[in-house]
A and B are shown apart, each in its own frame.
Chain A
Amino acid sequence: NAGVTQTPKFRILKIGQSMTLQCAQDMNHNYMYWYRQDPGMGLKLIYYSVGAGITDKGEVPNGYNVSRSTTEDFPLRLELAAPSQTSVYFCASREGNTIYFGEGSWLTVV
């Protein structure tokens, strides 16, 4: 059982570069989420999706974009990376009251 899979696990970006964090789930869940967690801090909601083709902003959406063309995939796009985006990114999916997390993607912007 793969669950929620995030790639890459680690990445270093230069300021101004762009990249996509991939998130895939094989549980056919409608609800998916992206969070970021800065060192020593809590998890902040970036974007979420309630189904294919439907996305909405979370608490900290600036500097990010998402798409949800299929139920399985929920990629997070960083445009023009900034040092403030150095963080750990967690993708999650949800069924009812149960939330499943990916293992996280560590991103450093230098």
Chain B
Amino acid sequence: QQPVQSPQAVILREGEDAVINCSSSKALYSVHWYRQKHGEAPVFLMILLKGGEQKGHEKISASFNEKKQQSSLYLTASQLSYSGTYFCGTDIASYKYIFGTGTRLKVLA
């Protein structure tokens, strides 16, 4: 039931774009995206709601695929501060909230 994220890890140069995917065996009705730095709690980036509405970061956007079993996070013009581990999070039952497997992102100068 845990959403699977891809890629597992990605390395970018500053200014490059990245896409991170979050795939579920069931339809996703809303998806949160987080960034976590080592030793810290996850930090909320944005939420993608079932109608496609987004709330969050200006340089980060997200979408669902046609069947809403995958959400993709788009990072534009990456900065060094974007480095960290990205997680998607979603309800798999009423308020039973779990996280995806995670994607490690490293941005190089």
Contact = CB atoms under 8 A, between A and B. Distances in A.
A64 interface: no
Contacts of B39: 104
A50 B96 CA distance: 9
Contacts of B98: 43-45, 58-59
B8 to A, nearest CB: 11
Contacts of A99: 32, 44, 89, 97
Interface of B: 1-2, 30, 32, 39-42, 44, 47, 49, 87, 89, 94-102
Majority-rule SS of B interface residues: loop
A89 to B, nearest CB: 11
A102 B41 contact: yes
Contacts of B96: 45, 48, 56, 58
Interface string A82-110: 00000000100010011101111000000
Interface in A45-98: 45, 48, 50, 56, 58-59, 90, 94, 97-98
Contacts of B97: 33, 45, 48, 94, 99
A97 B42 contact: no
A41 interface: yes
A105 to B, nearest CB: 11
B30 A42 contact: no
Nearest to A42: B102
Residue from A56, A101, A104 with most neighbouring chain B CB atoms (10 Å): A101
Given A97-B32, A99-B89, A42 B101 contact: yes
